[in-house]
Chain A
Amino acid sequence: EPEVTQTPSHQVTQMGQEVILRCVPISNHLYFYWYRQILGQKVEFLVSFYNNEISEKSEIFDDQFSVERPDGSNFTLKIRSTKLEDSAMYFCASSEGHYRSYEQYFGPGTRLTVT
């Protein structure tokens, strides 16, 4: 069964460094998303991406974040200058069609630890 994959599973970085989290969505899906979950807290929406551009983003998704689909398969989340409070599990998701009507499939997550 097709699945969303994410790499790395765990990333440790120092405060102020840039990190890139990678995701490979399900191949025929058109909509892509990033979520984060701080330990012990709710999952929070970050951004959605469709047709090679951001379609929606939350208040959390500020200028230090960016997303890109550099080729036909990868979908990346870049955090330019990491802060301690960026430590969280980051989930990528994809869906075949618009979120309102289609299932979202989540990846296993990347645990980001900022020291």
Chain B
Amino acid sequence: KNQVEQSPQSLIILEGKNCTLQCNYTVSPFSNLRWYKQDTGRGPVSLTIMTFSENTKSNGRYTATLDADTKQSSLHITASQLSDSASYICVVSAQTSYDKVIFGPGTSLSVIP
């Protein structure tokens, strides 16, 4: 069964600290993996897109890694800011069709002063 799991479910960190969010998936055949940031009550905003051949992708303070062998991805946030408080969603799509787009449940990140 195609699934995307994320951990932790929620995380609280101090402003300025780094954190790493995890994503495990069983989606097959793999096409790409995306990380989105979703503020409360807003639409998701794309952070990174990675295909099978990419194992790291950066977007400012966000760095995503992908291990296609173990089917794991991580999103590392450096020097966190209060505005980083949001839900971070891992989305994996299969190679064949759109209806294999699987959203993870998200990790709720709270950055506190």
Contact surface of A with B, Cβ cutoff 8 Å: 4, 33, 41-45, 48, 55-59, 89, 91, 93, 99-100, 103-109, 111
Contact A93 B98 (CB under 8 A): no
Q: Within the assembled complex, what's the spacing in Å between the Cα atoms of A58 and B103?
A: 13
Partner of B103, one of A33, A42, A105, A111: A42
Sampled A-B contacts (25; CB under 8 Å): A41-B105, A42-B103, A42-B105, A42-B106, A43-B91, A44-B103, A45-B98, A45-B99, A45-B103, A48-B98, A89-B41, A91-B43, A91-B44, A99-B93, A99-B98, A99-B101, A100-B32, A100-B93, A103-B49, A106-B43, A106-B44, A106-B45, A108-B42, A108-B43, A109-B43
A105 to B46, CA, bound (A): 7
A-side contacts of B41, CB under 8 Å: 89, 108-109, 111
Closest residue of chain A to B6 (Cβ to Cβ) is A42
Measured CA separation A55–B99 after assembly (Å):
10
A50 (CB) vs chain B CBs: closest residue: B98
Q: Report, as a range, how many residues of chain B touch the other chain.
A: 20 to 34
Bound-state Cα–Cα, A93 to B43, Å: 9
Q: Which of A103, A104, A108 has the most CB of B within 10 A?
A: A104
A45-B103, A108-B41 given; name 4 further pairs at CB < 8 Å.
Answer: A56-B98, A59-B99, A99-B98, A104-B46
Residues of B within 8 A of A59 (CB): 99
Return the CB mask of B76-112 against A: 1 if under 8 Å, else 0: 0000000000000101010001110101111000000
Query: Which chain A residues border B72 with CB–CB below 8 Å?
Result: none
Residues of A within 8 A of B105 (CB): 41-42
Tell yes or no: B31 within 8 A of A by CB: yes
- Residue among B44, B93, B104 with the most chain A CB within 10 A? B44
What residue of chain A has the Cβ atom nearest to residue B42's Cβ?
A: A108
Q: Are A56 and B99 neighbours in the complex by a CB distance under 8 Å?
A: yes
B44 CB contacts on chain A under 8 angstroms = 43, 91, 106
